[in-house]
Amino acid sequence: MRKKLLLPLLFLAMMATLTACKENDSISHEDDRITIKADITSEGGDLSVASATEDAKEDESEVISYEVKTELYEKDQISIEYPVLEGNIPNIDQLNSTLYEENMGGVEYLTDFYTLEQKIEIKEQSDEIISIVCKGYCTYNNASYPLAIFTAFNIDVKNGTFIEFQDHEQVREKVNNKEFEILDLPEGMDLEAAKDEVVMNYNLSSAFPMYYIQDGVEYYMVPVSHESGDNMTIVLTEE
């Protein structure tokens, strides 16, 4: 069962289902996204880039065509981008419902004391996988420093499901052995101190790490202290 990702970590104490947008809310979307076509064959269920010919049998293949669009929610000082799938991916309505809830849940509790801006990045979009990162910053009551918020979604295009995290213990072992690189080391921070913080926080968390996929590689987003940037992105190495 997929472990629920709660987008803004600050929402953990106030998650709720988003109600209908009020009159002064506005939602828009971008249309200039890539369309991918996948050919799903009946022999083994393998995926390949679509190359269906006119004589292909309908019961042997089905072309999946989809787009990943960016929906934008804006209200006062709140600006949240979240992904919306369009096309004939299996279970697309359920996928979109989860994407919406985990990005927008609790937004009605963000009062005038909050400023929030979130953007999405499509890390991988192919005939097999969609990998999306949602990142932003939230500031409460004119605080000196904003809080970084982040989450990631990895989708199996063929089956229309979120990809389950399978290698928790293997990743934990490599993290504990410091067999990883930090992609976003804070300026001026000692590398070994940063690695120690990653190890400590990885082991303190009871949840599976958030991760995204890019060019077939998994990148893990580990929460760290606010002073260290709220999160660090690591990639495992072979040592």
Q: What pLDDT is stored for residue 114 in this prediction?
A: 85
Among the listed ranges 38-42, 145-149, 222-226, which one has the minimum average pLDDT value?
A: 38-42
Go through 86-108 and write b for each residue having 16 or more CB atoms within 10 A of its CB, e for each that does not.
Answer: beebebbeebbebbbbbbbbbbb
Would you say the C-alpha torsion 88, 93, 95, 96 has a positive or negative sign? positive
Say how far residue 198 (Cα) sits from the centre of its chain: 20
Q: Look at residue 20 and tell me whether its pLDDT is greater than 70.
A: no
Residue type, 40: I
Q: What pLDDT is stored for residue 164 in this prediction?
A: 85
What's the whole-number average pLDDT of the chain? 78
Q: What pLDDT is stored for residue 45 in this prediction?
A: 37
Q: Look at residue 103 and tell me whether its pLDDT is greater than 80.
A: yes
pLDDT classification of 230: cutoffs 50, 70, 90: confident
DSSP codes joined into one string, 148-197? EEEEEEEEETTTTEEPPP--HHHHHHHHHTT-EEETTPPTT--HHHHHHH
pLDDT classification of 28: cutoffs 50, 70, 90: low
Decide which of 153 and 47 is more confident: 153
**Cα 134 from Cα 82, distance rounded (Å):** 7
Query: What's the whole-model pTM score?
Result: 0.74
Q: What is the 3-state secondary structure (H, E, C) of 74-85?
A: EECCEEEEEEEE
Measured N-to-C along each axis, helices 191-204 and 168-176 cross at an angle, to the nearest 10 degrees, of 150
Q: What pLDDT is stored for residue 117 in this prediction?
A: 94
**In the predicted model, what is the mean pLDDT of residues 17-37?**
45
Closest to 25 measured CA to CA, from 93, 69, 80, 68: 80
Alpha helices in the chain, H assignment, sequence order: 92-104, 168-176, 191-204
Q: Look at residue 37 and tell me whether its pLDDT is greater than 80.
A: no
Would you say the C-alpha torsion 38, 41, 47, 48 has a positive or negative sign? negative
Return the ∠ at Cα 62 (arms to 56 and 65), rounded to 5°: 120
